[in-house]
Amino acid sequence: GAVVSQHPSRVICKSGTSVKIECRSLDFQATTMFWYRQFPKKSLMLMATSNEGSKATYEQGVEKDKFLINHASLTLSTLTVTSAHPEDSSFYICSARDLGQGDYGYTFGSGTRLTVV
């Protein structure tokens, strides 16, 4: 089945630094990648939708200059949290759609636990 590889799984960074999270589709081409954030005991919150070769579409309230998304190829999308602050600490998850599986095809990465100290 479709696999999305997400790295790193856990990262601790100092306040003010930047962190890059990578998501790769391993056996399919992901023209669209979704980036979610999840706070403890809360639902997934869509941050942005990235499309290969074009600018990402950000949800209302998400700062595009703070959460930089790059989707340079059909198999790789990255999310960079710039000038991280403790309130950015969260669980970040990417998801891609394998069109070969039709509407079933939303596959999630394993998630990245970001802690900003």
Partner 1 sequence: GQNIDQPTEMTATEGAIVQINCTYQTSGFNGLFWYQQHAGEAPTFLSYNVLDGLEEKGRFSSFLSRSKGYSYLLLKELQMKDSASYLCAVMDSNYQLIWGAGTKLIIKP
CB of 108 to partner 1, least distance (A): 4
User: Cβ distance 96 to 32 under 8 Å?
Assistant: yes
Binding of residue 93 to partner 1 (CB under 8 A): yes
Contact pick of 11, 13, 44, 74 for partner 1 (by CB under 8 A) = 44
CB of 68 to partner 1, least distance (A): 22
Contact pick of 22, 66, 80, 111 for partner 1 (by CB under 8 A) = 111
User: Cβ distance 80 to 68 under 8 Å?
Assistant: yes
Residues constituting the chain: 117
Interface stretch with partner 1, choices 14-22, 60-68, 70-78, 102-110 (CB under 8 A): 102-110
User: Cβ distance 3 to 106 under 8 Å?
Assistant: no
User: 3 or 13, CB closer to partner 1?
Assistant: 3
Site residues (vs partner 1, CB under 8 A): 6, 34, 41-46, 49, 91, 93, 103-104, 106-111, 113
